[in-house]
């Protein structure tokens, strides 16, 4: 669906720092106007599906704007706040989470949005059960009940302090029961939600046209009436469109060279750069079923060779920083276990790991990456990884790649020995950088069985509403993950938005999961 020079306080990740490269003198924000041109936003992150029941990926970036959730993260929020409903735990054991909907709510087509629709939306995620899909977020949910038209109660199997955060994710979007089959995905290319915008039209891989949803009732204060999202395959094409004024802003996938160029020009080209606090991470996934990647010694030898500093500097030009844990810097519980265990890159130490395990070198490996998901630096990043591994004389590496849609289908089928993934958090908590990747069914579709993590550490941490009190559990989980080396963290990044100097609101437009809230963008007008 990019470590930083500024530490973020736990759970304050919606705060952003704005670097304005061109001051808009004599300009003020315009309010939404029916006659205003749509704001056109470019991104390299196209949806893999329009149905929330199928997606646990960057498709959420569209969902946040066209669907609605019971609770959400308004700009600047550190905890879930009311959106479609007021919600709270109602029992002493924090196992009954009750929500009361706003009055007289409807979907964008005018159909009634009631408690039954909410229950239907959550139940169909579980009923359809897409492998690697959002059903993985609902592991603590026992059942959903309703009372009247407005009251919904979520009964949990066990205490889960993160459940409100789960409900705030776009995966839990409320859908119209009349338009979404109960036992299969919607396949007509349409969207019927209750978010700030309605989807007027959608061309896969090209654009999504969003118009103001006249039936919307939620927290979003729309600063515009229409947004068109254009999807690009690479950063260079997207930035060229921005400079040519074919788009007004970019989001997701801005290349490192473009960031450095914009920073250097200080707005002389009529553009501005907004830098958002980032919890995006990049990592490698090892398939346990592969004859080579399935060997712990091979994985640990790779971890011993990889030079994250070279990747950050040579490929990303220091717009990202090395990451030594799956939990990024800035979150409570972050550690540096991969550095603690492996230290600086060393081919000699890696050779010893393989030799002790009786593994003959060079080890053959095929590394897979996606061509159109994480920006134009992805291919150079994997070329650098290949160079590092082969320079050690311990590995013989072949690189393969696919566009995201077929790439995602491939890793869900277990086709790749080693593959690259990025992770944009569902919610700002260390739990969300551990829980999605472990267990028999997880977001990567590669089983990772670790009973200590899944059966003891995560349940213990979820009993505590004070997330600062669960550091010990997360530190132990990261220690286990470093020892297993099933997932290999590479870097942590920030989110950059480049925009025309005519656009306001970029500094408010990123939620704590760095999803763009399109309604915060507006055009400036002359005095």
Instruction: State phi, psi for 259 to the nearest 5 degrees.
Output: -60, -50
Are the C-beta atoms of residues 526 and 47 closer than 8 Å to each other?
A: no
Q: What is the dihedral of CA 156, 462, 7, 310, to 10 degrees?
A: -90
| Angle, helix 347-356 to helix 296-305, in steps of 10 degrees | 170
How is residue 516 annotated by DSSP? B
- What pLDDT does 5 receive? 27
Instruction: State phi, psi for 279 to the nearest 5 degrees.
Output: -125, 20
DSSP states along 207-276 = EEEEEE-TT--SS---S-SEEEEEE-SSHHHHHHHHHTTS-SEE-S---HHHHHHHHHHTTTTSEEEEEE
> Cα separation of 192 and 178, whole Å?
9
Tokens of 252: 């997701």
Q: Is 56 helix (H, G, I), strand (E, B) or coil?
A: coil
Are the C-beta atoms of residues 285 and 419 closer than 8 Å to each other?
A: yes
Q: Is 133 helix (H, G, I), strand (E, B) or coil?
A: coil
> Cα separation of 341 and 99, whole Å?
45
> Cα separation of 222 and 212, whole Å?
9
Q: What is the 3-state secondary structure (H, E, C) of 443-473?
A: CCCCCECCHHHHHHHHHHHCCCCCHHHCHHH
- What pLDDT does 277 receive? 67
Are the C-beta atoms of residues 75 and 509 closer than 8 Å to each other?
A: yes
> Cα separation of 11 and 14, whole Å?
8
Instruction: State phi, psi for 377 to the nearest 5 degrees.
Output: -85, -5
> Cα separation of 241 and 237, whole Å?
6
CB-count burial class (<10 Å; 0-12, 13-18, 19+) for 458: buried
- What pLDDT does 292 receive? 98
What average pLDDT values come out for the chain (527 residues) when binned by 10 residues?
A: 29 34 39 69 93 90 97 82 95 90 97 98 96 88 98 95 93 97 95 98 96 96 97 90 95 86 80 84 96 98 98 93 94 94 98 98 98 87 98 98 93 96 87 93 90 95 85 96 98 90 91 88 75
Q: Is 412 helix (H, G, I), strand (E, B) or coil?
A: helix
Are the C-beta atoms of residues 292 and 298 closer than 8 Å to each other?
A: yes
CB-count burial class (<10 Å; 0-12, 13-18, 19+) for 286: buried
Q: 10 Å Cβ neighbour count for 341?
A: 15
User: Which residues is 99 bridged to in the sheet?
Assistant: 87, 152
Rounded to 5 degrees, what angle do the CA atoms 115, 79, 55 make?
A: 60
- What pLDDT does 232 receive? 92
Instruction: State phi, psi for 463 to the nearest 5 degrees.
Output: -85, -10
> Cα separation of 272 and 458, whole Å?
42
CB-count burial class (<10 Å; 0-12, 13-18, 19+) for 157: exposed
> Cα separation of 329 and 319, whole Å?
15
Which single residue is written with the structure tokens 């950059």?
Answer: 496
Instruction: State phi, psi for 112 to the nearest 5 degrees.
Output: -70, 135
> Cα separation of 33 and 515, whole Å?
24
> Cα separation of 273 and 284, whole Å?
29
Identify the helix (H) or strand (E) that includes residue 331.
none
DSSP states along 79-127 = S-EESSEEEEE-STTS-EEEEEEPTT-B-TTS-B--HHHHHHHHHHHHH
CA 345 distance to own-chain centroid: 29
How is residue 136 annotated by DSSP? G
> Cα separation of 494 and 510, whole Å?
11
User: CA–CA distance from 213 to each of 33, 81, 175, 227, 494 (Å)?
Assistant: 14, 21, 15, 12, 31
> Cα separation of 197 and 211, whole Å?
5
> Cα separation of 509 and 112, whole Å?
29
Q: Is 480 helix (H, G, I), strand (E, B) or coil?
A: helix
- pTM strictly above 0.95: no
């Amino acid at each position: 669906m990019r470590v930083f020079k500024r530490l973020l306080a736990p759970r304050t990740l919606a705060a952003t720092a704005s670097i304005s490269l061109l001051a808009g003198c004599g300009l003020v924000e315009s309010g939404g106007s029916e006659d205003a041109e749509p704001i056109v936003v470019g991104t390299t992150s196209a949806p893999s599906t329009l149905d929330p029941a199928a997606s646990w990926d960057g498709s959420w970036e569209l969902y946040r704007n066209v669907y609605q959730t019971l609770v959400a993260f308004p700009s600047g929020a550190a905890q879930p706040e009311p959106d479609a409903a007021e919600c709270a735990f109602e029992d002493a054991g924090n196992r009954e989470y009750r929500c009361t909907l706003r009055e007289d709510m409807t979907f964008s087509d005018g159909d009634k949005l009631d408690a039954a629709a909410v229950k239907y939306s959550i139940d169909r995620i579980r009923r359809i059960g897409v492998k690697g899909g959002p059903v993985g977020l609902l592991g603590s949910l026992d059942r959903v009940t309703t009372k009247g038209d407005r009251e919904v109660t979520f009964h949990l199997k066990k205490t889960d302090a993160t459940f409100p955060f789960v409900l705030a994710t776009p995966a839990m979007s409320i859908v119209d029961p009349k338009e979404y089959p109960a036992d299969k995905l919607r396949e007509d290319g349409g969207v019927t939600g209750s978010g700030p915008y309605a989807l007027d039209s959608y061309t896969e891989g090209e654009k999504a046209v969003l118009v103001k949803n006249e039936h919307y009732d939620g927290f979003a204060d729309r600063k515009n009436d229409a947004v068109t999202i254009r999807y690009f395959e690479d950063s260079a094409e997207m930035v060229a469109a921005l400079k040519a004024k074919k788009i007004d802003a970019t989001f997701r996938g801005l290349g490192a060279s473009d960031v450095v160029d914009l920073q250097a020009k200080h707005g002389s080209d009529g553009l501005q750069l907004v830098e958002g606090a980032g919890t995006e991470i990049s990592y490698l996934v090892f398939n346990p079923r592969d004859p080579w990647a399935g060997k712990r010694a091979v994985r640990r030898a790779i971890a011993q060779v990889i030079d994250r500093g070279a990747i950050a500097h040579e490929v990303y030009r220091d717009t990202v920083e090395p990451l030594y844990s799956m939990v990024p810097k800035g979150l409570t519980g972050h550690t540096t276990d991969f550095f603690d265990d492996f230290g600086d890159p060393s081919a000699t130490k890696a050779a010893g790991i393989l030799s002790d395990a009786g593994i003959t070198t060079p080890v053959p490996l095929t590394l897979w990456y996606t061509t159109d998901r994480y920006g134009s630096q992805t291919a150079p990043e994997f070329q650098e990884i290949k160079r590092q591994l082969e320079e050690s004389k311990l590995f013989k590496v072949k690189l393969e790649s696919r566009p995201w849609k077929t790439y995602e289908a491939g890793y869900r089928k277990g086709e790749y020995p080693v593959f690259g993934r990025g992770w944009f958090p569902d919610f700002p908590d260390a739990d969300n950088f551990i829980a999605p990747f472990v267990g028999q069914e997880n977001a990567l579709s590669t089983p990772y069985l670790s009973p200590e993590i899944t059966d003891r550490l995560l349940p213990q941490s979820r009993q505590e509403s004070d997330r600062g009190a669960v550091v010990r559990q997360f530190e132990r989980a990261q220690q286990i993950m470093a020892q297993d080396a099933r997932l290999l963290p590479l870097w942590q990044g920030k989110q950059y938005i480049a925009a025309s100097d005519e656009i306001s609101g970029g500094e408010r437009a990123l939620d704590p999961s760095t999803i763009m809230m399109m309604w915060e963008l507006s055009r400036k007008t002359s005095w």
